[in-house]
Amino acid sequence: MRAPTLAGLSLIVLLAGAAQGQPRGDYDRGSEPYFVDRPEIILFDRPNFQGKSRRWTDDITDLSDKDFNDKAQSVRVRGRWRVCSDSDNRGHCEFLTRDVADLRSLGLDRTVSSFSYVGRRPEPPPPLAPPPPAPVYPAQGDSLQGWTVGLFLKPARDGAPLPPSPEAADVYCRRAGYGGALYADYSAPALRDLVCRR
């Protein structure tokens, strides 16, 4: 017996896949919740998405209240919807995750009376974090304190002025909760106009 050719193997695989069949009606892509950003369902009173149409984004338990009961012949969907022939999601029901150009293929032609969204709705975005509180450092002398720097006009320790040196400026800034001195006026007899960085 000759070994099958590559083309023969491809044909065998194709036929085997066809024999296994597709999900019922091929309108439901599995039992897992189907995620979309904005779920919607649009019913049309003619096949092929023609005629009068109505659009919804949430469940409807009775279409007779919406003047569209037993009228739909085609449907467009975004997300996963359960469409039923009776009110309150009863009767003959089908799960849809794609458009159906002719509801006769599902046995729902002119019988749709209710539907519900059964996919997973997107999670709401987390609330914005509150802004961090303004920095609070010990007020030593006249000072202005911002998010990234602090200005100390006449820095002092225990009421006494500081010597005009970079070392004294750094120590003062670190004790005030900053990272170090960025600028200071060292020309006067005492340290002044000290800018500390965060």
Q: What is the 3-state secondary structure (H, E, C) of 80-104?
A: CEEEEEEHHHEEEEEEECCCECCHH
Is residue 147 located within the same domain as residue 88?
no
Does residue 90 register a pLDDT over 70? yes
> What's the rounded Cα separation, in Å, for the pair 129 and 103?
48
Mean pLDDT of 58-62: 94
Give residue-wise pLDDT tens across range 69-78: 999 999 999 9
Same domain membership, residue 28 and residue 113: yes
The reported pLDDT for the residue numbered 23 is 34
Whether 151 and 93 map to the same domain: the answer is no
Q: Which domain holds residue 182?
A: 143-197
Q: How far apart are CA 45 and CA 52, in angstroms?
A: 6
- In this structure, the answer to whether residues 93 and 165 fall within a common structural domain is no
- The answer, yes or no, to whether residue 51 has pLDDT greater than 90, is yes
The upper half-sphere exposure of residue 97, i.e. CA atoms within 13 Å in the direction of its Cβ, equals 17
- Same domain? 113 vs 34: yes
| Residue 103 and residue 150 share a domain | no
Q: What is the pTM of this model?
A: 0.49
Chain mean position to CA 196: 41
> pLDDT tens-digit profile of 124-157?
788 888 877 655 445 555 777 778 888 898 888 8
Task: Let me know whether 162 and 110 are in one domain.
Answer: no
Query: Mind listing the pLDDT tens digit for each residue in 165-185?
Result: 999 999 898 888 888 899 999
37 and 97 co-located in one domain: yes
Q: What is the CATH number of the domain that holds 66?
A: 2.60.20.10
Neighbours of 58 (CB within 10 A): 10
Does 29 share its domain with 110?
A: yes
Number of domains in the chain: 2
- Percent of the chain at pLDDT > 90 equals 48
**What is the average per-residue pLDDT within 64-84?**
94
* 88 and 165 fall within a common domain: no
Report the chain's mean pLDDT, rounded to a whole number: 81
Residue 1 lies in a domain: no
Task: Kindly list the distances between the CA atom of residue 188 and the CA atoms of 159, 161, 171, 194, in Å, as whole numbers in the listed order.
Answer: 17, 11, 18, 12
Q: Residues with Cβ < 8 Å from 37, sequence gap 6 or more?
A: 122
Place of tokens 């022939």: 85
**Above 70 in pLDDT, residue 24?**
no
Q: What is the CATH number of the domain that holds 193?
A: 3.30.30
| Two tokens, residue 175 | 């004790």
Residue 82 placed within a domain: yes
Q: In this structure, is the dihedral angle defined by the CA atoms of residues 118, 41, 83 and 22, taken in order, positive or negative?
A: negative
For residue 19, the model assigns a pLDDT of 35
